[in-house]
Structure 1
Amino acid sequence: MRLFAFALGALAIAGAAVAQQQPSQQTAPIKPSVTTPDSTNPMAPVKGKNSFTESQARDRIEQKGFADITNLKLGEDGVWRASAQKNGVPISVALDYQGNITEGAL
């Protein structure tokens, strides 16, 4: 009986040691479905189904300081794109489904 108890205890200790040696699973960083005023997805513009209407897209872009927004179109990738001006400089602008606004030279 002692041998059985000893073997059972040894198995319990060995099992605990193996469990501690398993590598921890790392999860991918969480991507927000919507950006907040103090955050932006560094992978923007993010492709995906966009629920912003043309009017909502224009308003969001204007709120970020862009003016004279023209050629605002929703692309097949789900990203709104337009030509605009910021501080009098012509620029291209994009708005993705998360609300990220990115800009680039025309």
Structure 2
Amino acid sequence: MKKIAILSAGLFLAASAAFAQSGTPSTSQTTPAVNTEHNPGAPVAGKNSFTEAQAKSRIEEAGYKDVAGLKLDDQGVWRATASKDGKPGDVSLDFQGNVTLAK
């Protein structure tokens, strides 16, 4: 009888733990790791995980050419010079993937 009670309690606890973990994770994060839309407040400071090659590729995918002087600043923003539509300028890439032209 004692073994049945212990086994029942163990099964109850295991089921409770499994139920507690089956909830949907929260998606209320206000600054996603990679943004799918351009953030008007970009560039956003934050821990940047893009490598130099990935940063250059992202900037080029945004339509920029002749990307040069690519450096990661102390705010976690990749900065470089590049040209778009024949016009040179300073560009940046933040941790969300936003590519912006300096104003």
Same fold? TM cut 0.5: yes
Distance of 2:85 and 2:67 partners within structure 1: 13
Task: Return structure 1 stretches of 4+ with deviation > 6 angstroms.
Answer: none
Q: Secondary structure in 1 aligned to 2:59?
A: helix
Task: Count matched residues.
Answer: 76
Unmatched segments (≥5 aa) in structure 1: 1-27
1:50 aligns with 2:48: yes
What is the root-mean-square deviation of aligned Cα atoms in Å? Answer: 1.7
Contact kept, 8 Å, 1:47 with 1:97, in 2: the verdict is: yes
Output the TM-score relative to the length of structure 1: 0.66
Contact kept, 8 Å, 1:31 with 1:41, in 2: the verdict is: no
Unmatched segments (≥5 aa) in structure 2: 1-27
Q: Residue by residue, what CA displacement relative to the aligned partner does 1:12-40 show, whole Å, maximum 9, x if unpaired? A: xxxxxxxxxxxxxxxx983332111xx11
In the alignment, residue 57 of structure 2 is paired with which amino acid? D
Q: Secondary structure in 2 aligned to 1:68?
A: strand
Identity over aligned pairs, percent: 54
| Larger-gyration structure (1/2) | 1
Look up the match of 1:41.
Answer: 39
